[in-house]
Amino acid sequence: MHTPLHSRARFRALLSASCCAALGAALLAGAGTATATAGPAEDPSAGPAGSKVVGYFTDWGIYDRQYYVKNIETSGSADKLTHINYAFGNVTDGKCALGDSWADTDKPFTAEQSVDGVADTADQPLSGNFNQLRKLKKLHPGLKVLWSFGGWTWSGGFGEAAKDPAAFAQSCYDLVENSKWADVFDGIDIDWEYPNACGLTCDTSGREGFRDVLAALRAKFGKRELITAAITADATSGGKIDAADYGGAARYVNWYNPMTYDYFGAWDATGPTAPHSPLTSYPGIPKEGYDTAATIAKLRGLGIPSSKLLLGIGFYGRGWTGVTQAKPGGTATGPAAGTYEAGNEDYKVLRTTCPPTGTVGGTAYAKCGSDWWSYDTPKTIKGKMKYKDAQGLGGTFFWELSGDTSDGELIKSIN
């Protein structure tokens, strides 16, 4: 089976083993059926245009990976981040729900594991990652945290949510603004993979479903709270971007995170080998429209302002084995071995086990033995930052924090 763009199928498995402004205004002004608060206020903490740095933190990272909120601080990443997306809350029965209550609110962290070196106690009202995020925010008052819902595994619930967007929005508001942790979160991130298209399951919410859900969320959360969405990067004609009204929904979000990675990978077991996050197309690319520049151009063509689009980077590589050709386009026999998932490995591992042997389409690739990997490096990220600035994009986001080195090598290259 061909795994779609941005396959985050690794989630739960880890726990068990611009076009012209006039066109944009016209497109956006007529969009939306809800009598919603028209749009978000600007985030006063965001800083100058293009300066957002948004990193995903995964709740399950505290288990096998032993990546804690504390590591965001000790790596120096907290000083570089403007926003953290906490992944993931569940979407079930048409409502927002806790994803992993033990990790989120209950797990007691030792002094060694804690952000401030103070151990959790049995009688405190809130433990888990939420309490650790609270401590991190105290050290970094300008840092914002959004609670991300859905993801690859739990996007199937959005279809039900789209049947009654107002009820869904109310459930999300009640959960995010729960008095036990309301101070932890500054908004909500919707990671619907994919509206009116297929991801782990297929969605038939209709072209307006995504727009209506975002409109309802904005109406409920109001102008001051942040609302963002991770969206497909499929820029092919008739592809996933065309399946939903991303242009119409843009008026309700502070920004979009187009998932400009996982374009190619070993779900195509025999290849051809190709970089999973190319910045631009290149001669021999297996599929046109599967590159960052094509994605950004397509979204801008819908009238979405550049300032509402962030550049996506993967802090991991995708790889094949049984490869004899060093350059892209070679055949393979299957996915290369990975620590947690076949065909996937963290940058912090690959930088030493399979260092780059070439670049293509603005990203790096590596041939070591019969394995072939592609991933971004500090050098290729700097190239992508030049593109981000030239396009006037709102900033950068990445998946995800634990893939970086212990001293934050990749996030430092973003800044």
Give residue 19's pLDDT. 35
pTM over 0.75: yes
DSSP state of 56: E
| Structural contact between residues 188 and 217, judged by C-beta atoms closer than 8 angstroms | yes
pLDDT tens by residue, 244-253: 999 999 999 9
More confidently predicted of 387 and 40: 387
Active site (catalytic) residues: 193
What is the residue-averaged pLDDT of the chain?
91
DSSP state of 369: T
Residue 155 tokens read as 């996007």
pLDDT tens by residue, 89-116: 999 999 999 999 999 999 999 999 999 9
Beta strands in 179-337, from DSSP E residues, in sequence order: 187-191, 226-231, 255-258, 310-314, 316-321, 334-335
HSE at residue 265, side-chain half, CA atoms within 13 A, is 27
Tokens 């030049």, located at residue: 386
Torsion sign, CA atoms 180, 184, 185, 191 = negative
Residue 149 main-chain phi, psi, to 5 deg: -120, 140
110, with CB counted inside 10 A (0-12, 13-18, 19+), is: exposed
Q: At what angle do helices 378-391 and 292-301 cross, to 10 degrees?
A: 20
Torsion sign, CA atoms 175, 176, 179, 180 = positive
Cβ neighbours, 10 Å, residue 21: 10
Residue 301 main-chain phi, psi, to 5 deg: -65, -20
Give residue 43's pLDDT. 61
Q: Alpha-carbon distance 77 to 409, whole Å?
A: 9
Mean per-residue pLDDT for 352-365? Answer: 98
pLDDT tens by residue, 326-346: 999 999 999 999 999 999 999
In what helix (H) or strand (E) does residue 299 lie, and over which residues does it extend? Answer: helix 292-301
| Structural contact between residues 126 and 133, judged by C-beta atoms closer than 8 angstroms | no
**pLDDT at 30 > cutoff 70:** no
Helix (H, G, I), strand (E, B) or coil at 76: coil
Residue/partner pairs of 320-325 with CB below 8 Å, 24 or more apart: 320/266, 320/269, 320/271, 320/273, 320/371, 320/372, 321/370, 321/371, 321/372, 322/370, 323/271, 323/273, 323/367, 323/370, 323/371, 323/372, 324/370, 325/273, 325/367, 325/372
Chain centroid, CA 6 distance in Å: 9
Beta strand 226-231 with 187-191: parallel, antiparallel or unpaired? parallel
Give residue 28's pLDDT. 33
Q: Alpha-carbon distance 52 to 71, whole Å?
A: 20
CB proximity list for 121: less than 8 A, separation 6 or greater: 108
Q: Alpha-carbon distance 223 to 252, whole Å?
A: 9
Q: pLDDT band at 39, cuts 50/70/90?
A: confident
| Structural contact between residues 54 and 81, judged by C-beta atoms closer than 8 angstroms | yes
CB proximity list for 371: less than 8 A, separation 6 or greater: 319, 320, 321, 323, 336, 337, 354
Q: pLDDT band at 50, cuts 50/70/90?
A: confident
Q: Which amino acid is at 199?
A: G
Give residue 42's pLDDT. 64
Residue 156 main-chain phi, psi, to 5 deg: -60, -25
